[in-house]
Homo-oligomer: A and B are copies of this chain.
């Protein structure tokens, strides 16, 4: 992040404070008022400068669309894990790309073994009989190594899917746990198959219950 001027730092601090107090970011008008500007455009200009220097993100068109960047930096707090929740995975993008992250939750590191690296939101009912339902969060340990019989998170082309792994010599079988779905057979050396990790836990919350 580029160095901020004194005035820009003041504005940034004000944005932090107002967000903290009210629960939502300020508008240009609110910033101008608190800073003593008689023109809202002064606030607008400061926001542009702050965005350009990487201090904040601005969502265009959205009211109060200001997000202070390093607000949640690091991700790790004390002995706790902060795990990102991955929703729909954009084609081509790596799973942990920022655009795929829907939320972040802090979880006790002792809960899952081996350590969970992220949570993946499940789509579809193909693992129903393993007690993994649509909307559930699967805790994923990131590793390319998986043994036969383990539940794995794999990428098949542009699709990310959760299935049980069976190794059969050179070929790999991805088994659903639901008789309504068909197993998938892939060549283990295929470029299209990438093992992203193994499932180490499941969390269900809210609606699916």
Contact = CB atoms under 8 A, between A and B. Distances in A.
Interface of A: 6, 9-10, 13, 16-17, 19-25, 27, 57, 59, 62-68, 71-77, 80, 101-108, 110-113, 128, 130-133, 136, 139, 151, 199-209
A160 to B, nearest CB: 18
Contacts of A136: 131
Contacts of A63: 27, 63-64
A76 to B, nearest CB: 7
Contacts of A110: 105
21 contacts: A9-B206, A10-B206, A13-B205, A13-B206, A19-B73, A20-B74, A20-B76, A20-B103, A22-B67, A23-B71, A24-B66, A64-B64, A105-B108, A106-B106, A106-B108, A107-B108, A131-B131, A131-B133, A202-B203, A203-B203, A203-B204
A204 B206 contact: no
B209 A23 contact: no
B111 A16 contact: no
Contact of A111 (B74, B80, B105, B209): B105
Given A71-B75, A74-B16, A77-B106, A208 B131 contact: yes
A205 to B, nearest CB: 4
Contact of A200 (B20, B72, B206): B206
A84 to B, nearest CB: 10
A130 B71 CA distance: 33
Interface centre among A62, A80, A206 (most CB of B within 10 A): A206
Closest 8 CB pairs of A and B: A23-B67, A71-B75, A63-B63, A202-B204, A20-B74, A105-B108, A201-B205, A106-B108
Contacts of A151: 209
A75 B75 contact: no
Nearest to A85: B17
Contacts of A9: 206
A73 B23 contact: yes
